[in-house]
Amino acid sequence: MTHSSLIVEPSKGLRGRIRMPGDKSISHRALLFNAMACGTASLEGVLDSLDVKATLRCIQRMGVDASMSGVVGCSGVFVAPNAALDCGNSGTTARLLLGILAGQDFSSRIIGDASLSTRPMRRVTMPLARMGAQFSESGDGLPLDVQGGPLTAVEHSLSVASAQVKTALLLAGLQAKGTTVVREPAVSRDHTERMFAAMGVEVQREQHADGGHVLSMSGGQALRPFSGRVPGDISSAAFFMVAATVVPNSDLVVEGVGLNETRSGVLDVLSRMGADIRTEDRWMEGGEPVGTLRIRHSALNATSINGAEIPRLIDELPIIGVAAAFADGVTVVSDAEELRVKESDRCASTVRLCRSMGANAAERHDGFSIEGRKGQHANGFVFKSALDHRMAMAGVIAGLHAERSCTVVGTESISSSFPTFHALLEDAHG
Ligand code: S3P
């Protein structure tokens, strides 16, 4: 298989105003939850990326009349799909769909691409099996055959904070008899809880002093349709925040960025490192806080990232790694073993990228450490992104502040989450 490559030229500064496309996590939820709801929803700003298209195709295959701009809900009763449900590269599609399929009175098969097929699914299927669903699997991944049916609510204690697992269990819990309880060791992104609230579903939340988080929800509650605009994706904005921070002469405004506290760890970390990022405006959209960010070039210092901060920036760690490679001092990321089971092993791939930039970097069992080069240009490099969209974009941003042109291989994966990445990068270069 031949992969597309991108040659990145050093940048003279990112300037102007750009607007982020819709948030990926919220887009998946808007389609899936509305598919289960009773009534018709109209949506704006749903992210038109390969991952979200996989979700759309799956619900259409289960008899739902849906597009990127609207969904006619099936009131919780889907049609048995006449072929396998292909989740492509999207872990969110696979895991959330499992929560829905667990309660449906038919059997179905979930498949995915080579990367998704190796990602852990037992973290979802084991608790769903305790509720009454049946699965046949050849290992801890895909393909998976699901036999859904009547479910009984159960109490679950998650060993890692995971919004995908939490959401799958709540989607099954909606279809179960009794009260489903989900305990998380730390708070993961809460888009599901916010959207459920907007759709009339009551979920009780308790926050414990040790950082733990407990949700309880009674089954049988109906979802009302959710209409509205999906806020821009902070995980996509993070690439532009780092680019405008590390490239001298930058002054960039990024509009419409989701600023949900459970996702905004990247803002805290970059600010702590010395980045000049100001929130110019703040408003609410569909139950989520949104804002406009202005980012100016600034020198960076190293930092430590661990504990409850990790779930708040889990997808941003590769691009934070790039920022660390330009910073002064040694940045240490720990408590992030989850990085090893993302679209690639992101402990290994982030270290590989930072080394190719010329920084000293080492893997830790639960993260990585990176000794930055104090704002110096990166070496010229060729980086193979292992078909991981966030690694490919991190590689492109690293190349914007390199001593000569760089090559990133495998950039086709970027359309999983951010199809307009190249166009917006061009806009920011006038
Ligand atoms: C997501 C949750 C996170 C994140 C993923 C999207 C979601 O995964 O990494 O990109 O939409 O719920 P985990 O729940 O596995 O941490």
Share of the chain above pLDDT 90, in %: 96
The per-residue pLDDT for 211 is 84
Residue 338 CA, closest ligand 1 atom number: 16
The 10 Å CB-count burial string (b at 16+, else e) for 121-142 is: bebbbebbeebbbebeeeeebb
Q: Which residues are catalytic?
A: 315
Mutate to test the pocket of ligand 1, among 115, 158, 164 (most ligand atoms within 8 A of CB): 164
Question: Could you give the 3-state DSSP secondary structure of residue 308?
Answer: helix
Q: Where are the alpha helices (DSSP H) in 7-110?
A: 24-36, 50-61, 91-101
Q: Quick one: pLDDT band at residue 241, thresholds 50, 70, 90?
A: very high
Residue 167 CA, closest ligand 1 atom number: 12
Strand partners, 409: 5, 384
Within 10 Å of residue 248's Cβ, how many Cβ atoms? 12
* Cα dihedral 139→141→142→145 (10° resolution): 60
Q: Quick one: pLDDT band at residue 159, thresholds 50, 70, 90?
A: very high
Closest to 194 (Cα-Cα) out of 298, 323, 284, 79: 284
Render pLDDT for 351-363 as a digit per residue (tens, 0 to 9): 999 999 999 999 9
Render pLDDT for 264-280 as a digit per residue (tens, 0 to 9): 999 999 999 999 999 99
The per-residue pLDDT for 210 is 86
Render pLDDT for 384-414 as a digit per residue (tens, 0 to 9): 999 899 999 999 999 999 999 999 999 999 9
Residue 235 CA, closest ligand 1 atom number: 10
Q: Is the pLDDT of residue 138 over 80?
A: no
* Average pLDDT of every residue of the chain: 97
Within 10 Å of residue 159's Cβ, how many Cβ atoms? 9
Average pLDDT over residues 318-338: 98
The span from the CA of 246 to the CA of 257, in Å, is: 20
Residues with CB under 6 A from ligand 1: 25, 92, 162-164, 167, 188-189, 314-315, 338
Q: Is the pLDDT of residue 1 over 70?
A: no
The span from the CA of 194 to the CA of 114, in Å, is: 33
Q: Is the pLDDT of residue 427 over 80?
A: yes
Q: Quick one: pLDDT band at residue 286, thresholds 50, 70, 90?
A: confident
- Which residue owns the Cα nearest ligand 1 atom 11? 25
